[in-house]
Structure 1
Amino acid sequence: MKRIKIFLFTMVLLSGCSDNLLDVKNENTYTDESYFKTQVQFNEAIIATYTVFSHMGMMSREWYFIFDLLANEAERSSALVGTELQLTDYSFTNNNDDIVGLWASLYRMIFRANLALKVMDGWEPVDDSEKVLKAQYIAEAHWLRGFAYFNLVTNWGKVPLKMTYDESKVNAAPRASVAEVWAVVESEFSLAIPDLPVKYSDDQLGRATKGAAIGFLGKTYLFQKKYDQAVTELTKLTKSPYTYSLDPVYDHLFGEDNINTPEVLFAVNHVYTTANTQYYMFGGYEGEDGKTFHTGRAQEYGFNDWENVTISDALVAAHKYADPQTGAAGYIDPRAAYTYYGSTANGGDTEYCDACAAGAIPFPFDFYSNRYRKYEPYEYQKYTEAPMSGINTHVMRYADILLMLAEANIEKSSPDIATGIGYINQVRNRPSVMAKNYATTLSQVEARTALRRERRIELAGEQSRWFDLNRWGIAKEVLNQEHPASLGQSPFLDKHVLLPIPIAERNSNAALAADIANDWN
């Protein structure tokens, strides 16, 4: 975490005792019972759970590839090969390394949260301040476990539930129903809310807040189409004691200082340490490459760097639509210039390096076509130099809250279209954007179209669209239209709505394997 010291520790389970004089206890080894004794060590248990955000399949690298490529937020370039190429052409199988890494890391997060909850059962706080911290740490463990199960159920459907430390140590476990997993997700975020703080001191930024728990509980209701409950929960974040607001400067959301934006509910905070750690996200973390937490996205997406992917043509095209006020064709959304480098005709930014010492450089559109600008440092430097970006990954921000409120109001049993459109317009009225507003008299169908377009544009390249398309039940239709099956492009099939259960998990868990159909899910 950028503001939280990352503690690295190893626990070696002892095999037992012996009367043999040669059986000498190593005082430098610990068990879960012997290590955790003080507030500092209980905090380590929580921080170790947060560090999973840097593991395989997560935000240091694979997360953005998985969800951008699956949802056609990014397209292959000539440099893209192997594991990631399988994601963009839907040829991936149940041993795709990125998907396997995501599954494993989410269960590792659950394992560590379970360990934290177990050891804190034995914590006897010495004063009132420690009582508050114990309650906070327990709430954080519930939030992290809720995050893991939210992503497991949305991507795999039925999954094993491991709700205790002992259960986490046993691989054999049947899959719970989707309804059972959603009930756990609701419970976890509900348990987290009471004891999480509204905000932290600057040196603790990056931990889950009360707002992050409320936001994810509201999101959980939305994904289950419990729209009235989603409205009730998410509306809390628009009022005191919460002070979230849209950052006036859209660009600020995607620069290295974005930890200080008033818009963040939860972000994975990245930091680069030393040169020997710059390639840590290729499978190395927690000690192998030192204490670091940066991301490779800027380097891998950058047009002046590795350029493994490009922004998709469909996403660029989505920024041009009918004028919301006149209906005239060809309106270009102002966020185009903040999202991609492109041409005057498509609204993309036509210069980069605006803040470089040598001055602005024309973007070579004729050579590159369109390329990502979001999450890139090219306004300040010509090259990224190495995969060492410290730009934080947004997991939930206030614009997302407003758009979820819009969706819930539009879709609930007694739709409130005017209120829903009001939330959409609020996002469009960000001072640096000022997109034209929609009329509050739109029909439900028109409002739904506006909402879905708004989420696509506002949250472009933020790993949101995959979840949106599946929630709306339109992934197959939309993605096959955007890149139809052809030589080198497999079609999006019904099975792709859920990710395949990793083959290693199936081979080691007979109870789960018996419930898998068609070698997939």
Structure 2
Amino acid sequence: MKKYTYQLLLIIGLITIGSGCSKSRLDLVDQSAYAYDTYFTNISALNQATVASYATLLHPGLWAREYYYIFDLMGHEAKRASFLLGAEQELGDYSFGTNNADLSSLWSSLYRMIFRTNLVIDRAAAWNPTATTDRAKLNQYLAEVKFLRAYAYFHLVTLWGDVPLYTDYQTTLNNNYLSRSSSDDVWKQVEKDLTEAQATAELPTVYAAGELGRATKGAVTALLGKVYLYQGKWAAAQAEFEKLMGAPYQYKLDPSFDNVFSTTNQNSPENIFQVMNQQWTDWAIGSPYYMFGNGAEQVGRQTHSGRAMEYGWNDWKNVYISNAAVKAFTYPDPATGLPYTDPRAKSTFYGTAASGGETVYCQQCATGEKAYPFDASDPQGDYRWKKYEYYHLMEKYGDPKSPINGQVIRLADVMLMLAEAYIQQGNTGSAPLALIDSVRARSHAFLYNTLGDKTNAMKILMRERQLELCGEQLRYFDLLRWGIIKQTINMEKAAEPGTGTQPFQDKHLLFPIPDVEKNYNPNVAREIKNGWN
């Protein structure tokens, strides 16, 4: 996708053309100008619009910055350091309201993604290509944007419940304000988009190197299985996930757990869908500080994450890994009953030898073989993030421009979701056991001989997801769908040194409808109860 970077910059400015501007009858129409009715009439233009839909993944609220703060802090895998204030502080202590900037940005960028995908679908329907190759590419692009629209609505319905359901670009074009659709209807639309995308013969299972980052048929299948799982449709989820375990798919667990979160992870056989940072980075334009709104013209023109520097303990030090997350890596070995420290701890955080965390950094710096001891004497806590960091390559960073691609869906996640689908149907035997043990074996953790009954199997599965996927913005969603988020967050927060609070209230089961939407859409504003949702 790198070759489309400059085309992307052009198309971003075209998406809202025609949305309410009026012309004087004295105005002359420039026939060579870009216009909604005339521009999207060739495969190159439709590809640009498709790429522009992907671009929203790195807009405010999503993977450039806010996404990892929202779900790491609210899932209590991260806790704020003294440097972290404002909207992020509100997330960490659940004091946010309807004007929280991060949640507002998340809502806005998800709908921006929807509006852009709707544009592609609308213009594709208006163009009837005669060339067979153009038709094949057009079908591929339609499948891709349906995946992205499903991704956006999956988040909206999971986090906010009933939301406006825009599936027609003309509705947006004519400034029509939709009321909220029921969550059932939104889930149906998500399933429809994904099943249609999955059935598209032209959607590849793999891409050439220059096209990496696009949604594959495997990504569509994985998200569809996840959608079924979140609705408790266990058999349907199982069927989708099982497809990914064999031909035509060639996914495998990466032999190196650390490589999945490294600067070379774009070539990992474990990738199913990831946000491509390094493939797009081009420092000839824009600012590495675009994620903070520095230079409005640069927003959406950069393709990198600031997570490494912002979470970086040797740089900005905005967050710690929570004490609860660290403690989860030590649990009883069922064979001996003695405490066991999971080897994934060393790949997840820097800490003390007793905690299992990494105790040295910069073992292979670019300037030569070096190793520095990690200082675990910080008064606020002894644990700092290692996952998604690259302190093995350099002692300090220069700018918030991490080239490490963000994992959205990877094979280990799918394997554990498949194991969960088995367990939820009462199957705690060899099938889920083999999946869980395969994930553990990669990191050289001990293997289970049995999962026990359904209750015990779910406990093992829940812990396995917490350890394997720690810091990947998934635990909040897991706790939410398992129905244990309130009790878990309040228990962990109460035990956190210097905190001692139980901030999660019943209203937090859904995010508040942002003020930006209430002020824009009077129909939604009228439907909100208690000023929240």
Instruction: Give the TM-score category using the shorter length.
Output: over 0.9
Q: Secondary structure at the match of 1:331?
A: strand
Distance 2:61 2:432 in 1: 34
1:88-123 Cα deviation digits (max 9, x unpaired): 000000110000000000001110000000111122
Structure 2 match to 1:278:
288
Checking the alignment, whether the CA contact within 8 Å between 2:489 and 2:502 is kept in structure 1 is no
Structure 2 match to 1:410:
423
Checking the alignment, whether the CA contact within 8 Å between 1:422 and 1:440 is kept in structure 2 is no
Q: CA deviation at 1:166?
A: 1.5
Structure 2 match to 1:360:
371
Distance 1:382 1:28, change over 3 A: farther
Q: 1:331 aligns with which of 332, 340, 349?
A: 340
Matches within 5 A, 1:150-165: 150-165=154-169
Distance 1:326 1:487, change over 3 A: closer
1:371-390 Cα deviation digits (max 9, x unpaired): 00000010110001110101
Checking the alignment, whether the CA contact within 8 Å between 1:4 and 1:206 is kept in structure 2 is no
User: Which 10-residue stretch deviates more, 124-133 or 395-404?
Assistant: 124-133
Structure 1 match to 2:437:
425
Structure 2 match to 1:455:
465
Distance 1:15 1:4, change over 3 A: closer
Q: Secondary structure at the match of 1:252?
A: helix
Distance 2:290 2:434 in 1: 44
Checking the alignment, whether the CA contact within 8 Å between 2:288 and 2:400 is kept in structure 1 is yes
1:128-169 Cα deviation digits (max 9, x unpaired): 221210110111111111000000001101111011002234
Checking the alignment, whether the CA contact within 8 Å between 1:80 and 1:308 is kept in structure 2 is yes
Counterpart code for 1:476: K
Structure 2 match to 1:228:
235
Q: Secondary structure at the match of 1:117?
A: helix
Structure 2 match to 1:132:
136
| TM-score normalized by the length of structure 1 | 0.95
Structure 2 match to 1:55:
59
Q: CA deviation at 1:35?
A: 1.2
Distance 1:15 1:77 in 2: 47
Structure 2 match to 1:316:
326
Checking the alignment, whether the CA contact within 8 Å between 2:419 and 2:431 is kept in structure 1 is yes
Matched, 1:93 2:97: yes
Counterpart code for 1:517: K
Distance 2:194 2:24 in 1: 45
Q: 1:218 aligns with which of 201, 225, 247?
A: 225
Counterpart code for 1:223: Y
Structure 1 match to 2:356:
347
1:190-234 Cα deviation digits (max 9, x unpaired): 111122211111100000000000000000000000001111111
Counterpart code for 1:407: E
Distance 1:69 1:289, change over 3 A: closer
Matches within 5 A, 1:189-338: 189-195=194-200, 196-271=203-278, 272-274=281-283, 277-283=287-293, 287-288=297-298, 291-328=301-338, 330-338=339-347
Matched, 1:494 2:506: yes
1:479-499 Cα deviation digits (max 9, x unpaired): 000012987956110111111
Structure 2 match to 1:510:
522
Structure 1 match to 2:82:
78
Matched pairs, number? 515
Counterpart code for 1:210: K
Counterpart code for 2:494: P
User: Which 10-residue stretch deviates more, 355-364 or 209-218?
Assistant: 355-364
Distance 1:309 1:482, change over 3 A: same
Checking the alignment, whether the CA contact within 8 Å between 2:154 and 2:227 is kept in structure 1 is yes
Distance 2:342 2:296 in 1: 42
Distance 1:66 1:290, change over 3 A: closer
Checking the alignment, whether the CA contact within 8 Å between 1:2 and 1:269 is kept in structure 2 is no
1:409-466 Cα deviation digits (max 9, x unpaired): 0002x43443212211111111xx1111112251111110000000000000000001
Distance 1:273 1:175 in 2: 40
Counterpart code for 2:28: V
Structure 2 match to 1:380:
393
Distance 2:457 2:519 in 1: 47
User: Which 10-residue stretch deviates more, 503-512 or 333-342?
Assistant: 503-512
Distance 1:26 1:355, change over 3 A: same
User: Which 10-residue stretch deviates more, 74-83 or 500-509?
Assistant: 500-509
Distance 1:369 1:226, change over 3 A: same
Q: 2:453 aligns with which of 433, 443, 461?
A: 443
State, as a whole percentage, how many aligned pairs show the same letter.
44
Q: Secondary structure at the match of 1:394?
A: strand
Distance 1:283 1:54 in 2: 13
Distance 1:257 1:393, change over 3 A: same
Q: Secondary structure at the match of 2:417?
A: helix
Q: 2:29 aligns with which of 22, 25, 31?
A: 25
Structure 2 match to 1:392:
405
Distance 1:122 1:166, change over 3 A: closer
Q: CA deviation at 1:126?
A: 3.6
Q: Secondary structure at the match of 1:75?
A: strand
Runs of 4+ in 1 over 4 A off after TM superposition: 1-4, 14-19, 284-287, 485-490
Unaligned runs of 5+ in 2: none
1:253-286 Cα deviation digits (max 9, x unpaired): 1111111000011000013332851101113688
Q: 1:114 aligns with which of 115, 118, 138?
A: 118
Q: 1:371 aligns with which of 384, 397, 400?
A: 384
Counterpart code for 2:392: E
Checking the alignment, whether the CA contact within 8 Å between 1:139 and 1:191 is kept in structure 2 is yes
Checking the alignment, whether the CA contact within 8 Å between 2:59 and 2:300 is kept in structure 1 is no
Q: CA deviation at 1:2?
A: 5.5
Q: Secondary structure at the match of 1:396?
A: strand
1:58-97 Cα deviation digits (max 9, x unpaired): 0000000000000101001010101100000000001100
Distance 2:300 2:120 in 1: 23
Distance 1:143 1:3 in 2: 22
Counterpart code for 2:5: K
Counterpart code for 1:371: R
Counterpart code for 2:277: H
Counterpart code for 1:5: T
